[in-house]
Amino acid sequence: MDELPDDDRFPQPNPGPSIERLKTRAVVSAVVALLQLVVFRDAVAASRRFLWPPTDPISQWLTFVLISVGSFVVISVLIGTIVGDRLHDRWRV
């Protein structure tokens, strides 16, 4: 029976992205979040009255808050990751 050498039994561990890459992603995500606030300031200002105080039914209010904040964070982090990786690969290597 063919036995694999010990080195070939398990794949090499992947330590994940470097600290510099993560910092680049975080900075770009923060810039994208600020740009979103600037571009959509009217919509944010208009929806602010729906955010506080909580209204009944509480589940409807909680859904509105989670969707508003969640979409803001997801879009910022998604764009920050894509653009941050491209910038890091271009200027850090």
Predicted confidence at residue 18, as pLDDT, reads 85
Say if residues 29 and 80 touch (Cβ distance below 8 Å).
yes
Nearest to 16 by CA among 25, 27, 7, 8: 25
Say which residue the tokens 């036995």 belong to.
3
What distances in angstroms separate CA 5 from CA 2, 8, 9, 11, one per listed residue?
Answer: 10, 6, 7, 12
pTM: 0.70
Nearest to 51 by CA among 28, 72, 24, 78: 72
Domain ranges, ordered by start, for the chain: 17-91
Residues 45-84 have pLDDT tens digits of 888 777 777 777 888 888 888 888 888 899 999 999 999 9
Residues 6-43 have pLDDT tens digits of 556 777 777 777 888 889 999 999 999 999 999 988 98
